[in-house]
Amino acid sequence: MQGEFEMSMMGELNFFLGLQIKQCQECIYISQSKYTKELLKKFGIEEGRTVSTPMATNVKIDKDEKGKSVDESKYRGMIGSLLYLTASRPDILHVVCLCARFQSNPKKSHMSAVKRIFRYLKGTIQYGLFYPQNENFSLKGYSDSDYAGNIDDRKSTSGSCQFLDDCLVSWFSKKQNCVSLSTAEAEYISAAFCCTQLLWMK
């Protein structure tokens, strides 16, 4: 690359745009723990208890049109910060994308869901992506969907992740464009998204 571009070597990369990178002979570890601590301080969620999951399993988030409105700019700021954090935290991607759907008119229930994500982050600050040294580059993909998971429009959500051997390299969570008429149809749409990504990567 130095033959084609004017470059300067500033040493081994260890911090870039909020990403902390630790490199050694056997592995690379990427995290955003410093950025996470700054977010917790910024939004005043340093105190209080932690939770073991980013989203309660028995709660369905909807428009909640009768709910009490909250500060829209603060809610959007929290969502934007969390979306950037998903660069190294695929474990919160689904619930962050779910909460991001309600940025135009957020309610108290939506804010509670977002604050739960922050309480989860407080207990998992050191989580990140671990890439061991490996010469095996077998490409694998996994997909799933929830049938009619969106209460408001009955659309399903697709989730997918792709691995190079044991290394997670790509992931997404996205509401499907059409209403699936069966669980099988929702799964096929999700699998198609996953295969499209695998073929592009290949």
At 116-144, the pLDDT tens digits run 999 999 999 999 999 988 878 899 999 99
| Strand, helix or coil for residue 153 | coil
145 closest CA partner among 186, 100, 87, 181: 186
**What's the pTM value of the predicted model, to 2 decimals?**
0.83
Question: What pLDDT score was predicted for residue 86?
Answer: 93
Mind listing the pLDDT tens digit for each residue in 34-90?
A: 999 999 999 988 887 899 999 988 878 888 889 899 999 999 999 999 999 999 999
Domain ranges across the chain: 15-128, 136-201
